[in-house]
Structure 1
Amino acid sequence: MTGDRETYRRGLVADKYRLARALHHAGDWQERVRTGLLAENADTVFGSAHDFTRLRTMDDYRAAVPLRTYADYEPWIDRAAAGEPGILTAEEPRLFFTTSGSTGARKRVPVTSRFLTTTYLPFFRAAMGVPAEYFPEVITRPAATLNLRHDRLARPATTGSGRHSLGPSQADMGRAFGVALREPGGDAPWAELPVPVDDSAYLDKLYLRVRMAAEHDVRCVIGHNPALIAMLPVLLAQWWPRLLRDLHDGTYLGAPGGTPNPSRAAELERQAAYAGRPTPAVIWPRIRLLYCWASGVASLYLPRLRELYGTGVTVLPTPAAASEGPVGVPLDRHPTAGPLAVSTALYEFVEAGHDIRADSPTLLHHELEAGRDYHVVFSHIGGLYRYVLGDLVHVVDHVHGVPRVEYAGRNTLSDAAGERLREFHLVRALRATALRAGLDIGNATCRVEPGTGTPGYAVAAALHPEPLPGELPALAQALDRELGRLSHGYRAARARGALAAPVVRPVAPEAFARHWHRRVAAGMRPPEVKDQILQPDPAAWKLLLGE
């Protein structure tokens, strides 16, 4: 079995280098992807409606197929989910990926064998090739990795045609498609829970995996969503008495089934007392890798959070991607970004400052500029054509002429008075302001409030160290200047008095933990609860402020 895992690890590394070589011929690959998806799906209902057989050039494709969001695609996807053949893809979907629904209703994405082998699998394996190369035991030793997003379901939801509808991390690709696709930690001892737990008991399932992992030498923690990695130290403190009791007695949530381990319980109790609190570094002192998104809101708190996982811990970024398809795939140790996966999907982009319309002009990969932000539009053989992802990316630099991109945030627009702020404006302004003030931000969220009649931005932030009362006005003024520097619309709105000065409201770190628990209690799986730099929920805002 060890030899099989080493072979699998080497295969992941080889796939990483295969995708890296494709960057040298990005234009050829983009043309190949476009012609391939048109030929493969020409006879589908969608392909016939858009004359796929007549489209010869990229300009033909742009003219025939408008830019569309998920809402535009939903009627076609619903027909495919109901079992009607040949709607978006020539092949029938084997299952449907679901999105987290953190910014709206859950989406369903058809998954065919061709999508898996030409789009999803090359991207996924290449991404896994980075930790496989630099941290081999993450792949070769199952108990080395605690994968917080791994959450197999006993009874997955199904579509009207009986196909499974579930998140990518919940799907058993080997069983569904017969392919070698294992996430690190997917075959750890805690991959199968030791006692029966209802599928919707999300925190109990997470607790059981952590409780089992506490008896092993974990070297890597995977979250993809960094909010879950940020919550693990909080959850450990909440679970600590129960975890020690379960370890001592050999129980799981108080139920028998394990081997009593009083020496391990006593050891952890001593280490936590010495450290002052239980942390991941206390339980697993040899953690070397955190694998998660590293840009967006996470860039505010990851530097300080990393300390709770131990000294010398590396953070490697997971890809800029979504259930709908891949975007950027890190292929080296870059801390936040990776080049476009040019051999897996066809990419177009729209300037971030523009609103997307069905006929918006688009840029191709070689037309992007470093330091700029863009809406992502992609097409792939899985049945999404000129699909507006709803995410923005920031071009960090270029690798062999291919943009290296990091996730910049959702394309949500905040526009109370013509300021047209995107998520990335707020994140970057907060990061720069806190850095200059010598403060760390544990987390932050923003909301437009009416004030004395003129709307203005309020920022709820967990700050460390706690600022003195006199520092808050200066902090708000610095934030105001930084937002004005980053956004012409904000600067103009402030100049004409249409927007009030921002205010900064310090909150305890526990406030964000309470908000996280509230969202899980409302039905979201822990891996799906994402940071919100723009807070849409008035009740959540009041909870965060302690009102």
Structure 2
Amino acid sequence: MFRSILSKPFASWVVARRNAWANKPAETQKKVFQYLIKNAKETMFGKDHDFQNIRTYQDFQERVPVRDYEDLKTYIEWVIEGWRDVLWKGKPIYFAKTSGTTSGTKYIPISKESIPYHINSARDALLSYIHETGNSQFLDKKLIFLSGSPVLDTKNGILTGRLSGIVNHHVPAYLRSNQMPSYATNCIEDWEDKLEKIIDETLTQDMSLISGIPPWVQMYFDRIQARTGMPIKEVFPNFSVFVYGGVNFEPYRAKLFESIGKPIDSIETYPASEGFFAYQDSQHAQGLLLLLNNGMFYEFIPADEYFKEKPRRLTIEEVELGVNYALVLSSNAGLWAYSIGDTIKFVSKNPYRIIVSGRIKHFISAFGEHVIGEEVEKAMKYAMEQHKEVEINEFTVAPQVTPTEGLPHHEWLIAFAKLPNDMEKFAADLDRKMCELNSYYNDLIAGNILRTLKITSLPQDAFINYMKSKGKLGGQNKVPRLSNTREIADELVKFGWNDTEN
């Protein structure tokens, strides 16, 4: 009871502080920029890039090129070897371990200055929700966080593990007594064994909040329903808040809410190993509030310029609504003009709210069409709205450049939970929407360079089995929404029936 009561004045205080910086975006970012440069002047990176003489953002642009992990890897390896004052003063207190598609395992530094933002931003997302809705009762019941293992390794004295596991060590004391699953269960590495144990522990509890990536939460729900034969609302009658991040919720929404059996409030967050970038600050406004006061200075590169030799690098006051930008950041963990690989769009400037539109390197352009993740997800949402019986577990898209017969095409590999009544009509609606969203794709269809898309229907567990085969089942792992190669597609069909539905 005390948690729900005390949370409301605390929420009012947090929202007032948030509004103070959100109402001064340019000034806030300028202060962050100056803080970062001042505190990194004496680091190896700062000396290599003449931070001593950086006075303006233009000075910074001239001295510090945009980098990805591979470009920054030499500095990070020095940090891993135990050197001090390399990218940020002192040593990081953690390395967040992630799986890179091109870099193998990546080690992202987290400093004592940056860790509070990872923790407090998740807290503030919940408090913003409480402040807006008045719903705080969920804090007095059980809260479950489906996350990676909190077991940490060390590299030269620096604790190393998955971000969600690191964050687990910093859950506020006032929430620990109602946090689930237990620490011992959270430490289980095998996702399926862990999931069964989580169900054992939570099935009889009064769960009110569930947090996790939608496909893994859906798997949790499916296993509960298989055991009980009941919708989630009967198993957890007080379940009222779903917190998620990492993927677009829309493709999973219909099936997830059908499993629950009632509509509930949801809160979207945008955390990453590099920083906590944004969260949904309102149940009524589109997009996520970009956190301009989180120890990170942001730059935005128009996505269609990203691969040019000298793309424009814009600050917060220069962005436009509706434009696809690659997100670049410099942080108090020692990342400098670092491209995280995500693309975002601004949907509001007062305050600055964003949507995550995809990955800068996740696209299909086998024929010059440059289809991006946002487009395939919008097309899927449209097709599902036209065919309300349809539910999906997961999907991905790949080009088929050399089909055994007919013209090249885009192949949509879909694990349906409920099939369309008319698969051909579903595919036609999907394709028509793609033509509306991407003029290049439309021209290729109209010019008979490509045929209309083909759907390959996969078993419901195809994506789960694929992820299991890669050792990436559960936690924060997810299948890319689309790819310019057939590497994932060809692997996936091994877990299917290998039949084409249209």
Q: TM-score range by the shorter chain?
A: 0.7 to 0.9
Q: Which secondary structure state, in structure 1, belongs to the residue aligned with residue 304 of structure 2?
A: coil
Q: Mark the CA change 1:467 to 1:338 in structure 2 (over 3 Å): closer, same or farther.
A: closer
In structure 2, the partner of 1:475 is 426
1:167 aligned partner, one-letter code: R
In structure 1, the partner of 2:452 is 501
Q: Structure 1, residues 60-89: CA drift from partner, whole Å, max 9, x if none?
A: 111111111111112211111111111100
- Structure 1 residue 187, shift from structure 2 partner: 4.9
1:23 aligned partner, one-letter code: A
- Structure 1 residue 198, shift from structure 2 partner: 7.0
CA contact 2:399–2:409 (8 Å) conserved in 1: yes
CA contact 2:240–2:264 (8 Å) conserved in 1: yes
* 1:32-111 paired onto structure 2 within 5 Å: 32-101=31-100, 105-111=104-110
Q: Mark the CA change 1:279 to 1:185 in structure 2 (over 3 Å): closer, same or farther.
A: farther
In 2, Cα distance between equivalents of 1:75 and 1:328:
29
CA contact 1:15–1:122 (8 Å) conserved in 2: no
In 2, Cα distance between equivalents of 1:465 and 1:525:
23
Aligned length: 488
Q: Which secondary structure state, in structure 2, belongs to the residue aligned with residue 528 of structure 1?
A: coil
Matched, 1:204 2:188: no
Q: Which secondary structure state, in structure 1, belongs to the residue aligned with residue 70 of structure 2?
A: helix
CA contact 1:150–1:191 (8 Å) conserved in 2: no
CA contact 2:93–2:110 (8 Å) conserved in 1: yes
In structure 1, the partner of 2:220 is 232
> Which of the residues 221, 242, 245 maps onto 1:293?
245
CA contact 1:100–1:528 (8 Å) conserved in 2: no
In structure 2, the partner of 1:258 is none
- Structure 1 residue 546, shift from structure 2 partner: 1.7
Q: Structure 1, residues 448-505: CA drift from partner, whole Å, max 9, x if none?
A: 112236421011234575334xx33333333333222212322233344332321123
> Which of the residues 531, 534, 537 maps onto 2:482?
534
In 2, Cα distance between equivalents of 1:193 and 1:294:
25
TM-score (structure 2 length as normaliser): 0.88
CA contact 1:97–1:108 (8 Å) conserved in 2: yes
In 2, Cα distance between equivalents of 1:114 and 1:397:
29
In 1, Cα distance between equivalents of 2:334 and 2:309:
18
Q: Which secondary structure state, in structure 2, belongs to the residue aligned with residue 125 of structure 1?
A: helix
- Structure 1 residue 12, shift from structure 2 partner: 5.6
> Which of the residues 422, 431, 456 maps onto 2:372?
422
In 2, Cα distance between equivalents of 1:7 and 1:438:
42
1:405 aligned partner, one-letter code: I
CA contact 2:465–2:495 (8 Å) conserved in 1: no
The percentage of aligned residue pairs carrying the same residue is 19
Q: Mark the CA change 1:145 to 1:125 in structure 2 (over 3 Å): closer, same or farther.
A: closer
Deviates more, 1:363-372 or 1:78-87: 363-372
Deviates more, 1:68-77 or 1:359-368: 359-368
- Structure 1 residue 435, shift from structure 2 partner: 1.9
- Structure 1 residue 521, shift from structure 2 partner: 5.1
* 1:139-538 paired onto structure 2 within 5 Å: 139=139, 141=140, 143-149=141-147, 151-153=149-151, 156-159=152-155, 161-171=156-166, 181=172, 187-188=178-179, 190-193=181-184, 199-223=188-212, 225-237=213-225, 240=227, 272=228, 277-293=229-245, 296=248, 298-317=249-268, 319-334=269-284, 337-344=287-294, 345-357=296-308, 359-400=310-351, 402=352, 404-411=353-360, 412-442=362-392, 443-449=394-400, 450-451=402-403, 452=405, 454-463=407-416, 466-468=419-421, 471-508=422-459, 510=460, 513-520=461-468, 522-534=470-482, 536-538=487-489
2:154 aligned partner, one-letter code: T
In structure 2, the partner of 1:127 is 125
In structure 1, the partner of 2:136 is 136
- Structure 1 residue 165, shift from structure 2 partner: 0.8
1:520 aligned partner, one-letter code: K
* 1:11-22 paired onto structure 2 within 5 Å: 11=10, 14-22=13-21
Deviates more, 1:226-235 or 1:24-33: 226-235
Q: Mark the CA change 1:219 to 1:185 in structure 2 (over 3 Å): closer, same or farther.
A: farther
Which runs of no fewer than 5 residues in structure 1 stay unpaired? 241-271
Q: Mark the CA change 1:201 to 1:220 in structure 2 (over 3 Å): closer, same or farther.
A: same
CA contact 2:305–2:312 (8 Å) conserved in 1: no
Which runs of no fewer than 5 residues in structure 2 stay unpaired? none
In 2, Cα distance between equivalents of 1:202 and 1:81:
28
Q: Mark the CA change 1:294 to 1:521 in structure 2 (over 3 Å): closer, same or farther.
A: closer
TM-score (structure 1 length as normaliser): 0.81
